[in-house]
A = this chain, B = another copy of it.
Amino acid sequence: MRVLVVLAHPEPQSLNVALSKVIAEELQTGGHEVQVSDLYAMGWKSNIDRADFPTFPKDKPLAIAKASQLAYTAAHLTEDVMAEQKKLLWADTVILQFPLWWFSMPAILKGYVDRVWSCGFAYGVGEHSDKRYGDRYGEGVFAGKRAMLVVTAGGWESHYSARGINGPIDDLLWPINHGILYYPGFTVLPAFVAFRVDRYDKAAFDATADRLRERIRTLSATDPIPFRPQNMGDYEIPAMVLRDDIQSEGQEGFKLHQAPSSEKQL
């Protein structure tokens, strides 16, 4: 495997950085290649703005999608963004690793997505017709690649359980798994989550590291989240609603967009 880890934590001695080393070591032990984009160490710029599009006319209002598409097509994006796109294309597996801050990713990682997921690259791709609505949700630049989140949370596992007050962790991560990863084509594996990490001692770290090593060893064999592909008949085009005749066995909300385990996968 060729694995890219995108890491978002400011402290070199943090649990996240330690777990990142566990990932890299386990991959290298298995004979795999690994690159780590340590966003804080790289001084990653988070805020997408006019400086992202150096050749965009200075006298025109900045429409991000248009500016992004022009710059991507002409290879006029900034060097830092193009270097990350190259790493993403090199990888067959991408891991986004971060502490859960306010129920989502840290700003620096959101800024990675905002800037690197360019128009023409990760969105705004493919044919729009009565049969297709672009290459997205199961198709796209990252099709054939796997992705997985590795997340640490301060709260207890029960707080993020089916009836937990924070909301179920898989639902909180759904906008990332489905919207940021599956949308541009990744096959998405269930997230690895470590809870209650503010109280970690050595035993807790070792147990989590062991559990993480096992997930890394089984990356290529792990069943992905069975998100429904967009252009294979499940959705009405262009309304993009799940067809009425697709039964969802009591599912609602986000879970509608996931095939029940009993349903045959494409």
Contacts and interface: CB of A to CB of B under 8 A. Distances in A.
Given A46-B111, A162-B253, 4 more contacts: A10-B49, A10-B50, A102-B179, A162-B252
A215 to B, nearest CB: 24
Contacts of A44: 47
A254 B257 contact: no
Contact of A241 (B50, B113, B163): B163
A230 B257 CA distance: 30
Contacts of A64: 10-11
A110 B48 CA distance: 13
Nearest to A168: B253
Given A137-B165, A164-B240, A175 B103 contact: yes
Q: Which 4 A-B pairs have the closest CB atoms?
A: A107-B111, A103-B179, A13-B61, A103-B175
A195 interface: no
28 contacts: A10-B47, A11-B61, A14-B63, A46-B47, A102-B113, A102-B175, A102-B180, A103-B176, A103-B180, A106-B110, A107-B110, A107-B111, A155-B240, A156-B240, A158-B239, A158-B240, A158-B241, A164-B242, A165-B230, A165-B240, A166-B179, A167-B174, A167-B253, A167-B257, A171-B253, A172-B175, A252-B253, A253-B254
Count this chain's copies in the assembly.
2
Interface string A174-215: 111011100000000000000000100000000000000000
Interface string A132-165: 0000010000000000000000111011011111
B102 A114 contact: yes
A141 to B, nearest CB: 15
A256 B117 CA distance: 34
B238 A156 contact: yes
A159 B110 contact: no
